[in-house]
Amino acid sequence: MASALINVPAKAKLGDIIEIKTLMSHIMEPGYRRTASGETVPRDIITSFTCRFNGTEVFRADLFPAIAANPFITFFTTATGSGKFEFEWIGDKGFAETTSASIVVE
Amino acid sequence: MKVARTIAMAALLVVANAGAAEIPQSERRSGFSFMAPDTQAMQNDDTNNPGMLWVLDGEALWKRKAGSADKACADCHGDASTSMKGVAARYPAFDKALGRPVDLEQRINLCRANRQQAAPLAYESRDLLTLTAFIARQSHGIAIEADTDPQLEPFIAKGRALYSQRQGQLNLACANCHDDNWDKRLAGSAITQGRPTGYPIYRLEWQSLGSLQRRVRSCITGIRAQAYDYGAPELVELELYLMSRARGMPMESPAVRP
């Protein structure tokens, strides 16, 4: 059960530059730490984040071990029409989460 | 000779009292006001505040049935936005059956044991933190009033004594930093006044949510004293005194702290 917080404006005017904010719950274990007994804690991070608008990719990011827990990714895009933003996070140990948010463009 | 000794003693007492002066009401500040604008912005926007991830999970857990009684929190308490409003601002609270104060985490576990017949949740476990965060969130903006019950008085006094008690290899009391030197810095960090307005907090250093007991224990380790175990009466008394010391200040849970 991983939860995500998404902030997409509900409404925008055509051509507006809008900010999208995403926050995903994840421990982002870098894989360099050791336990008290000396064993390496296996890496467990999100490796990729993608945002698609009506099926077309508008933003993508690769994530690496130095990124803090619960990655907060924010970016800008242009409002080209009404539709649905789909967000996808993929990571180690089969981590795969998706969520979506709609926007109305006038 | 005796007179001289008495004067010396009196002078010492005056110095001791001056050192332990409490912060005047008008100078009370939440830890929030010590933070950088970026960190403040992170707390203020619910979609930026990582603590809200725990609140979201807590809302789901609130409605999930647990234990052999097969009851969810919501089955007794209903809508948390009304039933839990202001509750966290009044904890730790006196428990009649136990005859001592319990904090919010202990109240949740008492409810689990007595009403849900479920196993207690471990301190700092994800489930206990999510439930605490969700309940504390319902008190957002409400003034702290954890010390109204007269039965709590002896426990607040014990907490206060512990707060003023020098301990550890560094021989420091909580008061030495948080009453006497809150306007200074320790290495690069603000010392702050030790107001527990936003627990459980998302601490950037922890990269996770944590309870007031975790925060207090790490302070105790910092003065190189032996930290009390989670759930120890001493920790609850300290929590209680800290909350009474922050009486009237608005709750910020889940707060973000560096």
ipTM of this predicted structure: 0.87
**Could you say which of B57, B207, B208 has the minimum Cβ distance to residue A3?**
B57
Beta strands A96-105 and A11-12, pairing class: parallel
| CA proximity to B134, closest of B110, B104, B106 | B104
CA distance B56 to A74: 20
Contact A6 B47 (CB under 8 A): yes
CB neighbour list of residue B8: distance below 8 Å, 6 or more residues apart: none
Instruction: Give tens-digit pLDDT for B134-164.
Output: 999 999 999 999 988 999 999 999 999 999 9
Contact A3 B56 (CB under 8 A): yes
Q: For chain A, what is the radius of gyration of the CA atoms?
A: 16
Kindly report the nearest CA distance between residue B77 and chain A, in angstroms.
24
| CA proximity to B123, closest of B138, B137, B103, B101 | B103
Q: Where are the beta strands (DSSP E) in B86-241?
A: 93-95, 100-102, 185-186, 189-190, 201-203, 208-210
* Torsion of the alpha carbons at B6, B10, B16 and B20, rounded to the nearest 10: 150
Contact A7 B208 (CB under 8 A): no
Mean predicted lDDT score pLDDT of chain B: 92
User: Hey, which residues 24-83 in chain A have their CB within 8 Å of chain B?
Assistant: 25, 27-28, 68-70, 72
Known catalytic residue at B219: yes
Q: Does A99 touch chain B (CB under 8 A)?
A: no
Query: For residue A23, what are the β-bridge partners?
Result: A5, A72
The pTM of the full predicted model, rounded to 2 decimals, is 0.89
Question: Around Cβ B74, how many Cβ atoms within 10 Å?
Answer: 16
Question: Around Cβ B248, how many Cβ atoms within 10 Å?
Answer: 9
Per-residue pLDDT of chain B (258 residues; tens, 9 = 90+): 455 555 555 444 444 444 457 889 889 999 999 999 999 999 999 999 999 999 999 999 999 999 999 999 999 999 999 999 999 999 999 999 999 999 999 999 999 999 999 999 999 999 999 999 999 999 999 999 998 899 999 999 999 999 999 999 999 999 999 999 999 999 889 999 999 999 999 999 999 999 999 999 999 999 999 999 999 999 999 999 999 999 999 999 999 999
Contact A70 B46 (CB under 8 A): no
The mean pLDDT of A14-33, rounded to a whole number, is: 95
**Could you say which of B45, B46, B208 has the minimum Cβ distance to residue A69?**
B208
Q: Which residue of chain A is at minimal alpha-carbon distance from B59?
A: A3
CA distance B236 to B226: 16
Residue B215 half-sphere exposure toward CB, CA atoms < 13 A: 26
Q: What type of residue is A60?
A: R
